[in-house]
Amino acid sequence: MARNEVRPVIKLRSTAGTGYTYVTRKSRRNTPDRLTLRKYDPTIRQHVLFREER
């Protein structure tokens, strides 16, 4: 089965500098620029911004 390039797998890395990452998929058609989400970082036990890494 071929991978769908419209919805690629991306890594979300913490902006707090802890190195913690989330892995998710996104739609390139709807959000062509880099994704930023506010998610929980268990290393520092806080919600911080996670930015898409390419």
pLDDT tens digits, one per residue of 5-52: 899 999 999 999 999 999 999 999 999 999 999 999 999 999 999 999
> Which tokens in the block code for residue 47?
């919600």
Residues 6+ apart with CB under 8 A from 20: 13, 14, 41, 42, 43
Length, in residues, of the chain: 54
d(C-alpha 5, C-alpha 16), whole Å: 29
pLDDT of residue 5: 84
pTM of the model as a whole:
0.86
Cβ(15)–Cβ(21) below 8 Å: no
Question: What's domain 9-53's superfamily in CATH?
Answer: Ribosomal protein L33 (2.20.28.120)
Cβ(20)–Cβ(42) below 8 Å: yes
Domain edges within the chain? 9-53
